Structures are given as C-alpha cells and as structure tokens.
Structure 1
Amino acid sequence: MKKTALSLSLAAIFALTGCAQTTTQTDAQQARSVANQQTNEAAFKAFSDQFIEQYWQQYPEQSMYYGYGKYDDVITIPDAASRTASLAFIDTQLTKLHAFDLTSLSASLKIDYHLIENRLKSTRWEIEKFKSWQWNPSRYNVSYGFATILNSRFKSEDEKLRLVFDRLNYVPAYYRAAQANISDPTLEYTQLGIQQNNGAFSVLTDDLLTRVDSLSTFSEKEKAEFKQRFANAKTAIHGYIDFLTAVEKKMQSTGEARSFRIGEELYEEKFAFDIQSGYTAKQMYQKALADKARVTAQMIKLTDQLWPKYFPNTTRPENDPEAIATLIKHLSQRHVEKSQFVDEIKRQIPELENFVMEKDLLTLDPEKPLVVRQTPDYMRGFALASISAPGPYEKKENTYYNVEPLDGLTDEQAGSMLREYNHWILQILNIHEAVPGHYTQLVYSNTSPSLVKSIFGNGAMVEGWAVYTERMMLEEGYGNFEPEMWLMYYKWNLRVICNTILDYGIQVKGFSKEQGLDLLMNGAFQERAEAEGKWRRATLSQVQLTSYYSGFREIYDLREEQKKQLGQDFDLKAFHEEFLSYGSAPVKFIRQLMN
C-alpha cells in the first residue's frame, strides 16, 4: 500500500504515543525504585540506631569508652554466661543485618553495613576461636572505667562518686570470673596484667574516702557502705595480682609458658578483621620488604649529601648502613634533657597548630582542648606516647596526650630513649600523636554524621592518617626542608615499615628476639631502648603494628590518585577535610565515596 503524508504523520504520532507510554512506564518504575531505596535506607538507619543502643546494653564498658554515659554504673562480669549472651546477641543482630538488600543501600550506608558486620563477626571469632580471654590476663582491669568517671569535667562530685559507688559493687565478682577464665596464659601478658593492675591503686586511692565523707548528699549509711565496697574492691584486685604473681613464678621456675606467637592461620584471620585491607597479611609483609629497600636508598642519598657537613675531615665508610648509622648517631645527640621531655612536648603543640593554620591544611577546632599529661600508672608499660580521645557522645571532654615520663629510667636507658626521640624525631612524634595526627583526626571523627563510622572505626585508617600527616607536613615545608629532618623522617618511616616486618616475622615466621632487635637496630637504625620496647610491644599485641604502614600506604596512594585526576583543581585542604568527614572508616571504603 502506498504511504501518504497523512499515514506517515499518523504513524509518527502513534510511535510518539508509544514512546510516551514507555517513558511514563520507565519513569514510574524509576520512581518506585527510588521510593523502595528510600524506604530500605530509612529502615536500615532505624536498624542502625537501634543496634547501637542494644550494642551498648550488651557491652556497657565500650559505651563508656565512647562517652555514651547511660551505663557507666555497670561492669560486665566476664564469665561464661556473659560470653553465651554475647554470642546470642551476635547471631540475632547478624540475622537482622543480613535481611537488608545490600545493593539497595547508598554507598555510605553500605560502609555502615560492612562495619557492623565486621564488628559482630570479629567479636564472635574472638570468643570462639582466638580466645584471648583465656590467655591474656591483662585484659582484666577495672581501672579505666573508674578513671574515666573521675576525670570527667562535666560530672558533679556527687555524680562521680555515686557512679564509683555503684561500680565498686561489681569488682569482687569481676576478678573472680577473671581468675576462673585464665588458662595457659603467656608470660608476657601475665607480667603486664600484674603491672597494670598494680596501677589501679593510683586510681582507687584513699582520697576517695575523704571525698565521700565531705559530701552531705551521701547518708551515713551510704558512706559506710562505700567504705566497705572500696575495701572489698581493693582486696579483689590484690587477690588477682597475687594469683597472677603465683602463675608467673610457676612459669619462670618450670620454663613452661604459652607462646605469644599466634601462628599464620590466626594471624591472617585477625589481620582481615582488624585491618580490613584489600591485601592479605602476607602480601602486606612483602610490600613492606620492598618499601624498606626503597626508603633505605633515599637515606643513602641524604647521607651522601650531609656527610661533608658533619664529617668534613673523615672519609665516608663504604658500607652504606654503617655510614647512615654513623650520621644518625651523631645527629641524635641533639635532644632535650631527661627532666624536660614532657615539657618540651607541651611546648611544641602550639607551634604545630600555627603551622597547620598558616598553611591552611585543615580547620582546627579551638573548643576541643588537647591536654598533655604523664601517662596514668594503670596505662603504663605499653607505649611511650598515646592519645586518649573522647567519644562521639562526649565531644566537649578533653583529649589527653599521654606521655610516659623518663624519671623512672636509669641515665643509660633515658639517654638511649632521648637519642631515639631526638630534636627532629620528637617533632615527628608530636605530628603523629597530636597535630594534625591522631588528636585532629579523632576530633573530626566525632563530627561524622554516621555514629557507626565513628564508633566502629578502623584502626588502620586511624594510624595510617597519623603516619600520612608526618610526610604531608614535611612536604608542605615543616622543618624548612632541612635534609636532616628528611633523614630523620625516613628513619621514622622505616620504623613504620619495619613494624609490619617485625610483627609478621614474630607471629608467623618465628623471629627470635635477636633477629627482631637486629632488624630494628641495624635495619631501621633504632636505639636499643626503643628496639627493646618495640620487641616487648610486639609480644603483647598482634596485627596492630601493621596498621600504621597499611593505612599510610592506602591514604597516600589515594591522595596521589586524586591529584592526578583533578590536576589544578586539586585542593589539599579540601581533600583532607572530605577524607576525615567519613569518620574512621576503612580507607578502601572512603576511596569508593571520594571517587
């Protein structure tokens, strides 16, 4: 049939009508899809809020760490019943979580999903397979909870002491359960448990009795009961210390004790839960070996540059490690006095804050104070410096920069430590721990709109950020691009790399103490006191030492990718603030959001 203009026009109209109908159907389908996604996301957010509340009920001590406050009067008795209840809670929550369609959630909520799942599964693995509740006596210590209450700036004296009053009632049962749990402990954790529980008496001091007596809000009956609970608690702590002391003596006399090495299978599993990296532990170990060689090569170049300045009349040794070590040893003589160690750290913090603001690297919040203090006794024996930050529910509380004083060390030990934390490295330490490292990152983390990301944060991201800022600050001109500062930075960075090598080497490959100290002292140019301290730390933890290097590598690589993609539009401050806005999420997930 011959087609006319009219028939063609009608055909076009019918075709357009069909397209309109199809378009309408597609729009309706899209609208339904969007509505379904919004419904699913709203349901997931409601689940998340409910989950966090129930999580704090199940694990009240953790709620205190994050400043929730509602369960500060409770101490969980660490017995078989609490472990059974924990496993039941985990199974129930995982069933609820897995009912959600992961594909229907936004990228940000997918991260929350993975973080919740990882926390639940890792807790179950800890209870059922890793079982450190049996062989790590140092995990039992009531000091932290009491200290958190007593250090609060926003609780009245009556409120503090009433919380202490309630918590004291749990202490005898807590330590009875702890003692019953201990089976085949490691010598190292037993000794740490003794040391740190002795530190409890620096928190539970007789001064508390005087403070209670002075309060008119406590009745005479309550004051008498407080004194009895206080005495019972101290007796329980002494009893646990005596128990551990007897266990320690037996292990030392027989020479038989559980090895602190956990082996490859447990190590890989713990690495997967703790680091949440795209790499296996073995792959990260191999990357660290390669980076160790690269950094050492940079140190050789800097040594060649600086040698004539410091040794104008001495021929440089042909052996590169010997030359590097000689130069570092010479430079390390520049350090503060033993008695001024903590004061010098206090002095440097404002300088770091001024540099960050002048270079416009990050926005700093002046209402979030950083308090440098000597590490409390109950926390000593693990790290020279650390940060105690407020949680997302107590954002106005102080952040504490804990520094172990050198007073208790011999002159020889203190001298070794001061050479390690010399004029240059002490500044890098303060960048790492304070500004713009841990302190700054944790302040930002508390502003994240997602409580899940703030609460179930990733240690590799937290440590990796602190390591990243060390290099970033030097790249931006901190230290005036002095080759001495860069040499010491590489020495410090080499330590981060060797942390990974050491941790994997000890736990999986069976490095001896001699091998470990050789790696740190001759491979990473560390002082003996620092190397000894790191060896001790490696026997008292697993995987955590790898978090510094793995997090740093992923953050630095992400920044370089962003710079390449954005070109002249790349803004360093914008990168930092967007990166930190996602809370302490694993870097691999932050990468997805930023890309």
Structure 2
Amino acid sequence: MTETTTPTRLVDEFLAWHFDRNPGTAALLGSLAHDHTLGDFDAASFAAHEREAGRWLDRFAALETADHAESIDRDLVLAMLRGVRARATWPAWRRDPALYLSAVLYPLHAAFLNRLRPEPELVASVITRLAQVPGVFAAAKDNLDPELASPLIVRRAAAQARTGRSFVTRTLVAEVADPDLRARLAAAAEPAAEAFDDLAAFLDAFAGTARGDWRMGEALYSTLLREQEVLGYGAAELHERGKAAYAELEADIRAVAGQDDWHAAMVALQDDHPPTPEAMRAEYEAETLRARAFLVEHGLVTLAEGEECRVVPSPAFQRPVLGVASYMAPPPLTSARVGHFFVPFPPDDFTAEQTTQRLRTNARSQLATIAVHEAYPGHHWHLSWLAAQDRPVRKVFRTPYFAEGWALYSERLLREHGYFATGPGDAAAARGRELAHVEAWLFRAARMVVDTALHCGDMTVEQAREFMTTKSSLTPGTAVAEIDRYCAWPTQAPSYLTGALEILSIREEFTGSPREFHDTIAGSGALPLGLARRAALGR
C-alpha cells in the first residue's frame, strides 16, 4: 500500500517521534524541547521502540517520490530503520552497560560545552536530568542479562562508571560561574554521584557472573553492512578488501620510510613527542590552525560562516575507554558552529609509563595527520558545513562509513596538495609527517582486517592486540583500549578506510572542481556510501 503523506511531512513526523524516543540524542543535536529528560530505559520502552520503528519502516518503504533529494532522505531513513531491525537481534540494552552511561554522560557534558541556554536555565535543566540518573542506572541493572553480556564489555563500562562521581561533582560544578547556582548544582550532583558509585560496584560484581560473547557473528555483521550501510557486500568481502588495502599500503609505507622495517622507523619517530598532555594539546592547536590556513590558501572547501574548532582535553569520562583523539560537532539543529577537538588525555590513574605511551602515540610526526582528520578539512569542517545545510534528516542520521571515511579522505587530499611536506622543522620532520600519514591509512586497513576477524570468530583479543602493535604503530597500552573498543562497537572500525576509498571512487566520476566536489558531497550529509554516490553525482 502506497504511503499518502507527503515526503516532507512524513520525515517531520518521524523526526518528532525519534526525538521523543531519544531525548538525549535530540538534546545533543540542539533540541531545547528535549534537554530536560534523559528518557525511558525500562524493558517495555525498548520493546515499544522496536515495534514502532517497524511501523515506520513499513511507512517509508511505501513512500513514493520522484524528487531526487526526497528519495535520498527516504532511503536514509530506511537504511537506519533496517539497522534498528537487524540490531534488535543483538540487543545492546541487554548486553552493554555503556549504553546507559553514554545516555547520561554525553548530554550532560554537551549541555555546558554548547551552552544553548542562559546559565540559570542551563543549570535548571542539568539538575532535572541529574535527578533521573539513579533511575537510568536502576534500569541498567534490571535489563542487563548475564547470559548475553560479555565480561570484557562489562569491565570496560565499569572503568567508565568510576569516572562518574568526579564528572558530576567536580567537572560539571566547575562550569558554573554563579556561586548560588554552583551550590545548587553541587547538591543535586551528590545523589547522581552515589548512583555512579553504585553502578560501578554492581558492574564489578556483574563482570564475574557475565557469560555472554562480545562477538557479533558474520551473519548480523554482513546484514548491517548491506542494509544499514548500503555497501552491497558483507563481512567476508570487507575482510578481503582490508587485506588487499593493507598489502598496497605496506608497499607505500616502505617506500616512504626508505626501508623494509617501517615499523622501526615509526617507533623511532615516537621518541619525539610532546612532554606533557597539556603540551600535546597546545601542539595540536597549532597544527589545527595551520591546517585551516592551508585550506583557505588552496581554496579546497567553503568554510561555514562562524565556524570555530576548539582544541581541548578529552572529557575525563572518555579517557578510560578511548585512547585516541575524537571530535564533537556543533549542535546542527541550532545556529552554533563551534566544534570541539578532544585531545586524548590519559586517565587520572595512569602510571607515568602509561602516560608516556599515550604521548608516544601522539608523537610530533603524527600530529599533522590527526589534526587534519579531526579538524580541517576532516570532522570539524565537514560537520560545521553540514550543519549549515537544509536537509534536517541528514543532520540527524549520520553513518561513520561516510563521516570517518571523509575524515580519512581529507588526509589523502592534503597529502596530494603537499601539506605534509610543509610545516615546522627540517626535511627530516617533513618525511616524518609523510610517513605518519601513510601509517595512519595503514592503521585503518589493519582495523578492517582485525574488526571483521574478531567478530567473525577468526581472531582472539590477544591476537588482535599483537596484530595492531606489529602491523601498525600503536603502543601496547593504546592497543588495549583500541581492541576493547572494537569488541564493544562492531562494524565501526572498518568504516574509515572503506569510506575513504569509496569517496575517492566517487571523485573520479565527478565533473566539477575539487572545491565543488567537496562542498557537494560533504554538504549532502554523512550518508550511507551508496546514497552518498547518488547525492554527489545526481543520479
């Protein structure tokens, strides 16, 4: 049966439903109507969401439109809903405590990061949500199933839960200027802090009884690639593409290194690293400004009006679970265009040796390619530019297969224009930047191989860690955090190189200038790659 509602109205109705069901996500996107609640997390709510998503899937599947942009919007929603349907067989709400932690931590962190309300209103909204934290964590304890939850995933979340008390009682409170408001927030934070402590203790014990497997399995992995990412192939082919890409990139890195043992060359480069986390942040900031100036000089993209990328320490709650740089976009449903490049500071409980390992993984030779990836013309340029466009549904639903693919493509783009050959230092420093750039691509090929092998049961965690420390330049400490991330987030790690290669392929068919290509494809969203091709090429 054909859907009779107009495409625009159906999308608007769907987004309203999606925001009501996911108020934390809506608040992160900039919806002030949803910044007073964390949402419902009981089992009945998750079941209702899956049923209602199925009905929306039927409605969008029946929607007909001859308009090119509307058809891409429809197919984006269909891809997302097919992903929801597939993931219902692998319920994260019964497997992964991080779902509940993220639902609390990120909206509260973004509230003060983006400051979309005056301080009194902002504090009031945060206090309202802090009062809901014990209920969210009570639902987590009720919902988590020891038969499904993996000890590895539970321990990973427990480490994050232990950062909660400091986050709500110190980090949030320190953001408030007014003394009376600060005191009110501090009082409201204590029950939430106790809930974090209680959840951490629960998870420590729960890890001892959890018997589940973190491996997703080839069938579901392949379904997500085909139906959600619109790739046209499954896990086995993705694995083989990763192996082929790795072999090609390994030849490239040997040529740049001037020796077969490129790994030794990279390890030697890591000896030259910033001396402290704050020095690392300052050097990333300088490199970010250099990359932006390079874009302007070469006219490679159009900058969004009012955009700004702030280079700041990673949130304390993120540090135990993410050992690399990351980025948070400006809320796209608002006029804000300020994004945040998070520099991977070590957790407070790291030893001096662990801190040095993290600094080595952010060596001076690597700063340039990472800053390009996270900032210009990578994530920050892309998402600030996308926020200025006028297709709401494409601002809401984004896939890492484009977003991360674009950021990695950005590194190749700037290599093509000579960026890594310029900059501070002598010719040896320039060769180091070039080598680090190629290694960054090689690292993403290694991720393709490892993630598919892990989740299809062909590689153990220990083998994966060994692979990433010998086949890329990860230090052992960073490799631990990386592999745990792959176990917890199946299909995400291969998105970088998969997307970059597809974007290069689309560029070959595009007939306009480089700037027109970049503005067009990045402004079309962070679409599943099959839809990105249609959007860029107009067919």
TM-score (norm 2): 0.89
Closer/same/farther in 2, CA of residues 245 and 452 from structure 1, 3 Å limit: same
Q: Distance in 1 between matches of 2:167 and 2:267?
A: 40
Alpha-carbon distance, 1:337 to partner: 1.9
Contact 1:152 1:397 in 2 (8 A): no
- 2:310 counterpart SS class: strand
Please tell me the residue identity of whatever aligns with 2:150.
T
- 2:321 counterpart SS class: coil
Larger gyration radius, structure 1 or structure 2: 1
Contact 1:521 1:528 in 2 (8 A): yes
Please tell me the residue identity of whatever aligns with 2:495.
S
Please tell me the residue identity of whatever aligns with 1:297.
A
Please tell me the residue identity of whatever aligns with 1:260.
W
Contact 1:341 1:406 in 2 (8 A): no
Q: Distance in 2 between matches of 1:201 and 1:398?
A: 28
Please tell me the residue identity of whatever aligns with 2:196.
I
2:99 matched residue in structure 1: 139
Alpha-carbon distance, 1:529 to partner: 3.1
- The answer as to 2:43 corresponding to 1:80 is yes
Say which of 183, 197, 206 aligns to 2:145: 183
Q: For this pair of structures, how many residues does the alignment match?
A: 520
1:298 matched residue in structure 2: 252
Alpha-carbon distance, 1:528 to partner: 2.6
Contact 1:468 1:555 in 2 (8 A): yes
- The answer as to 2:237 corresponding to 1:276 is no
- The answer as to 2:359 corresponding to 1:423 is no
Q: Distance in 1 between matches of 2:98 and 2:308?
A: 30
Q: Distance in 2 between matches of 1:230 and 1:299?
A: 50
Closer/same/farther in 2, CA of residues 205 and 273 from structure 1, 3 Å limit: farther
Q: Distance in 1 between matches of 2:329 and 2:158?
A: 25
Closer/same/farther in 2, CA of residues 246 and 416 from structure 1, 3 Å limit: closer
Alpha-carbon distance, 1:289 to partner: 0.7
The 5-angstrom pairing of residues 156-305 of structure 1 reads 156-184=118-146, 185-205=149-169, 208=173, 214=180, 230-248=189-207, 250-251=208-209, 257-304=211-258
Please tell me the residue identity of whatever aligns with 2:137.
Y
Q: Comparing 462-471 with 360-369, which one deviates more in the overlay?
A: 360-369
Alpha-carbon distance, 1:274 to partner: 4.6
Closer/same/farther in 2, CA of residues 447 and 267 from structure 1, 3 Å limit: same
Contact 1:161 1:212 in 2 (8 A): no
Q: Distance in 2 between matches of 1:428 and 1:590?
A: 24
Q: Comparing 486-495 with 499-508, which one deviates more in the overlay?
A: 486-495
1:452 matched residue in structure 2: 393
1:124 matched residue in structure 2: 85
Deviation per CA, 1:288-308: give whole Å up to 9, x if none: 11111111122233343xx6x
Deviation per CA, 1:178-236: give whole Å up to 9, x if none: 110011221222222222223222332278599787259x9xxxx6xx88764443333
- The answer as to 2:413 corresponding to 1:472 is yes
Identity %: 22
Deviation per CA, 1:512-567: give whole Å up to 9, x if none: 234223322322344333333322222222110011011011001111233xxx4x
1:343 matched residue in structure 2: 282
Q: Distance in 2 between matches of 1:165 and 1:410?
A: 34
Q: Distance in 2 between matches of 1:478 and 1:291?
A: 23
- 2:7 counterpart SS class: helix
Q: Distance in 2 between matches of 1:230 and 1:416?
A: 34
Q: Comparing 496-505 with 182-191, which one deviates more in the overlay?
A: 182-191
Please tell me the residue identity of whatever aligns with 1:292.
Y
- 2:115 counterpart SS class: coil
Say which of 380, 385, 391 aligns to 2:331: 391
Contact 1:274 1:459 in 2 (8 A): no
- The answer as to 2:525 corresponding to 1:586 is no
Closer/same/farther in 2, CA of residues 399 and 273 from structure 1, 3 Å limit: farther
Q: Distance in 2 between matches of 1:284 and 1:337?
A: 39
- 2:233 counterpart SS class: coil
Closer/same/farther in 2, CA of residues 208 and 518 from structure 1, 3 Å limit: closer
1:24 matched residue in structure 2: none
Q: Distance in 1 between matches of 2:129 and 2:270?
A: 47
2:263 matched residue in structure 1: 325
Please tell me the residue identity of whatever aligns with 2:342.
N
Contact 2:218 2:456 in 1 (8 A): yes
1:26 matched residue in structure 2: none
Structure 2 unaligned runs (5+)? 423-429
Q: Distance in 2 between matches of 1:158 and 1:246?
A: 39
Closer/same/farther in 2, CA of residues 577 and 135 from structure 1, 3 Å limit: same
Closer/same/farther in 2, CA of residues 173 and 347 from structure 1, 3 Å limit: same
Contact 2:80 2:228 in 1 (8 A): no
Q: Distance in 2 between matches of 1:245 and 1:211?
A: 36
Closer/same/farther in 2, CA of residues 404 and 421 from structure 1, 3 Å limit: closer
Deviation per CA, 1:249-273: give whole Å up to 9, x if none: x34xxxx732222221222223335
Say which of 51, 60, 65 aligns to 1:97: 60
Contact 2:228 2:528 in 1 (8 A): no
Contact 1:56 1:63 in 2 (8 A): yes
TM-score (norm 1): 0.81
Q: Distance in 1 between matches of 2:461 and 2:59?
A: 47
Deviation per CA, 1:302-322: give whole Å up to 9, x if none: 343xx6xxxxxxxxxxxx3xx
1:7 matched residue in structure 2: none
Contact 2:223 2:234 in 1 (8 A): no
What is the RMSD of the two structures over their aligned residues, measured on CA atoms? 2.7
- 1:214 counterpart SS class: helix
